Every structure is written in C-alpha cells, then in structure tokens.
C-alpha cells in the first residue's frame, strides 16, 4: 500500500475545496485552504491555479514552515505565506480558509470592518476586523492579515476577500460561511437604513455560549 504524507488532510482539503465552490464562497480557482499538523510541523495547502473538482490528493502540496515542498510536484497556493504566519504565531490555529465570497469581498472593498449586526458574527468574535490592502501572495499581505485579525477568528482583507481560521477545517469553514451570511445581512440592512448593532455585553454572552455550541466530543 502506498502511503501518502498527510493523506487525510489532503483529502479533506479536496472535499472542502469543492464545498467552497458549491457554497458560493469562491469561483473558479479563487481562494485557498490549508491544514497544519503541529506534530510534524507540516502544512497541507491547496495547489495554485487548479480547479477544485480536478485536484487529486497528490496535487495538494505539503510544505514545512521553512517553505520547503515536502511532497507534490505542484506549486502551492500563492497565499501560502498568509497561512504560514498563523501557524507559526497562533498556537491554536490548525486550519485556514480563504475565500472571495461576494458579500464579504463587497464589505472589504468598502474598507469597512463588519460590526455585530447578527449574533453569528460570534464565530469571529464581537466583530470582523479589516486588514490593510497589500498585493496578493506577498509577505506584506501575510503580515497585514495577521496584524489585522489579532485574536479574532476572521478578518476582511481590504479589496480582496475573507480569511477565517479554526482549530480544525470544519470550524474554519463554518466561520467563513457564517461571516459571509453576516456580511450579506449587513449589506442588505445598510441598503435600507442603519442596522442596529448588538451591544458589547450581549456579544460577550454569545461568545461564551459558542464555547459549548454543537456536539462536543
């Protein structure tokens, strides 16, 4: 039997890459996904410029945190440095989802933060902050994304898209989905009038409740 390095992680990236497109969180080859294995200090990340329904496990690139390709003959996503910086500096982050979803990108194009217009913003925290613009695929963008996100679980990338992190890929993907929903609510509410923002005290309650949300192992 042929053993593929980080096979489970690579298969998950393919599965969730298809979900990115099916959920409308990106189009074409846009966006990227990664999973980090701290035991081996290896990162599996989607390859650059390949449609998600054409990616095979061997195409998913395995890198160490010094940018060395450990396995795959494909090039990694151009945003690999934006993934790496979180794995090296935020210990609890084990998966990252980057999207070009339409409503999040619209809010990011306005260079707005996303306020607590709906309680589901709690997947990120009490808001979604905004990171300064930088050219895609650069160390500058990686640094801006990390500094902009701070201790939140999502950040809007100015004139670019959304980045969501989590302790596993399921949580990172859910965060991206719920923040996209919240961006849509905010966009539509702003189109009619001034949305009411949930107070800080209520968001503290919600964030605490989210710690025990769902089916816990």
pLDDT at 3: 55
Separation between Cα atoms, residue 161 and residue 104, nearest integer Å? 6
R_g over Cα of the chain: 17
Please give the sequence-ordered ranges of beta strands (E in DSSP) within 1-111, or none if there are none.
32-37, 42-45, 61-64, 69-71, 95-99
Q: Are 86 and 64 in contact (CB under 8 A)?
A: no
pLDDT computed for residue 214 by the predictor? 61
Determine which one of 9, 11, 79, 113 is catalytic.
79
All domains of the chain in start order, with CATH: 7-210 (3.40.225.10)
What 8-state DSSP symbol labels residue 22? H
In this prediction, residue 211 carries a pLDDT of 83
- Per-residue pLDDT, 215: 54
3-state class of 153 per DSSP?
coil
SS3 171: helix
pLDDT of res. 24: 94
CA distance 46 to 28: 13
- Is residue 177 part of the annotated active site? The answer reads no
- 0.85 exceeded by pTM: yes
Contacts of 49-58 spanning 24+ positions with Cβ under 8 A = 49/75, 50/74, 52/14, 52/17, 52/18, 52/20, 52/21, 53/18, 53/21, 55/13, 55/14, 55/17, 56/14, 57/4, 57/7, 57/10, 57/11, 57/14, 58/4, 58/10
Please write the tens of the pLDDT for every residue from 26-54. 988 899 999 999 999 999 999 999 999 99
Cross-strand partners of 164: 97, 154
pLDDT tens digits for the chain (217 residues)?
A: 455 799 999 999 999 999 999 999 998 889 999 999 999 999 999 999 999 999 999 999 999 999 999 999 999 999 999 999 999 999 999 999 999 999 999 999 999 999 999 999 999 999 999 999 999 999 999 999 999 999 999 999 999 999 999 999 999 999 999 999 999 999 999 999 999 999 999 999 999 998 877 655 5
The predicted structure's pLDDT at residue 169:
98
């Amino acid at each position: 039997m042929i053993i593929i390095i980080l096979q489970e992680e690579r298969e998950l990236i393919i599965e969730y890459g298809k979900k990115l497109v099916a959920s409308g969180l990106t189009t074409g080859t846009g966006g990227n996904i990664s999973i980090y294995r701290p035991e081996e200090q290896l990162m599996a990340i989607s390859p650059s410029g390949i449609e998600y329904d054409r990616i095979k496990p061997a195409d998913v690139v395995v890198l160490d945190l010094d940018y060395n390709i450990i396995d795959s003959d494909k090039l990694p996503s151009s945003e690999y440095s934006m993934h790496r910086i979180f794995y090296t500096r935020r210990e609890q982050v084990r998966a990252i989802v980057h999207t070009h979803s339409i409503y999040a990108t619209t809010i990011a194009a306005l260079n707005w933060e996303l306020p607590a217009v709906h309680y589901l913003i709690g997947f990120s925290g009490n808001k979604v902050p905004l990171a300064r613009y930088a050219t895609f695929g650069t160390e500058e963008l990686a640094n801006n994304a990390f500094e902009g996100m701070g201790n939140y679980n999502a950040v809007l990338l100015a004139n670019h898209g959304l980045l969501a992190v989590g302790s596993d890929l399921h949580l990172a993907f859910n965060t991206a989905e719920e923040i996209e929903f919240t961006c849509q609510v905010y966009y539509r509410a702003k189109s009619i009038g001034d949305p009411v923002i949930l107070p800080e005290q209520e968001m503290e309650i919600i964030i605490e409740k989210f710690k025990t949300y769902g089916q816990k192992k």
